[in-house]
Amino acid sequence: MSLPPPILRLLSGGGVVYRGGRTLDPRLQFLAAAGRNAPPMSGMTPEEARRASAEALTPLAGRPEPGVRKESVVLEAPGFPINLRVYRPQDQDPACPVIVWAHFGGGVIGDLETSDAFCQILARVTRAPVLSVDYRLAPERRFPAGLEDVLAAYRWSREHATRFGAPEGAVAIAGDSMGGGFAAVIPQELKRAGEPQPALQLLIYPWVDVACESASMTTYADAWPLNRATLDWFRGHYMGPEDDPADPRLSPLRAKDLSGLAPAVVVSAGFDPLLDQGEAYALRLREAGVPVVYRCYDHLTHAFTAFTGAVPAADIACREIAGLVREGLEGRIC
């Protein structure tokens, strides 16, 4: 069984392209050319990489979304606080769940600002409250600390959904890259614990197998902004020497049984070492009987959720993705 080739809108307007005709968006070509002149992340310390990433992403972020307000919340987890940022749309739909969001960054870099623009888009288009998690980072706190923080925030949101104007117990889970991996693990963890499934899982270019050697890992080994060397660098900081890459909490793609999980929206980027992982996970979900919608934006790169202010095609894609989530929350995933 194979997924049908996704039809994608081109920035030029109206045309369609299939996966065989992959061309990188011109603005991303420009950014990639400039980015390749920067020092590689794999040669930096985590602190240096965090600063460099924040400096690079800030001018690429989109403008604030009208009608979306932010609220800071602190979750007092056992032994440490977890900072949360809640995005509330002015026209919030009281039937929509809270969407818990986990940002990209390989478990090593990123913070609440990393996905600020996308979370605003997600809140505005879905008309749902979005709760972004500032989870602990490696190597200061290695696996499974970040995952545990997002899971704690998810469970807390389920208990306090009405505080944010959502129905009691109604929560969805979402994330991109490493955050997408977290968002894939959490429904599996809830299933193992006998807890209710999320309303939906949104996985954007998810990292769902930390030791994957698929074709896209070779084809895009030197891609921008994510490449093979950076993935190895992330893995080296995030995992400890005793951690098993086959652990489903690190590699949810390797879980034996995906049946009974929440409906899913899975998104890939065409110029991304993780391209095959998103498609493979969507296929496994579908084979397990999970309702799933899969999209691949062939003309975009990894991390495009952070480029909405500089790349119109990324902004369009993010709004389309948020629209798919809205449809999923309305029960229209088939």
User: Which residue among 176, 272, 276, 298 is the active-site one?
Assistant: 272
User: Is 116 designated active site?
Assistant: no
User: Is 237 designated active site?
Assistant: no
Q: Are 121 and 322 in contact (CB under 8 A)?
A: yes
String of b and e for 100-131 (b: at least 16 CB within 10 Å)?
bbbbbbbbbbbbbbbbbbbbbbbbbbbbbbbb
User: Which residue among 132, 157, 177, 251 is the active-site one?
Assistant: 177
User: Is 299 designated active site?
Assistant: no
CA–centroid distance for 190 within its chain: 19
Cα(223)–Cα(217) distance, integer angstroms: 10
User: Which residue among 103, 237, 299, 302 is the active-site one?
Assistant: 302
Look up residue 230 and give its two tokens.
Answer: 């950076």
DSSP per residue, 274-328: THHHHHHHHHHHHHTT--EEEEEEEEEETTGGG-TTT-HHHHHHHHHHHHHHHHH
Torsion sign over Cα 88, 109, 231, 303:
positive
Alpha helical stretches, state H, 164-274:
178-193, 215-219, 228-238
Active site residues: 177, 272, 302
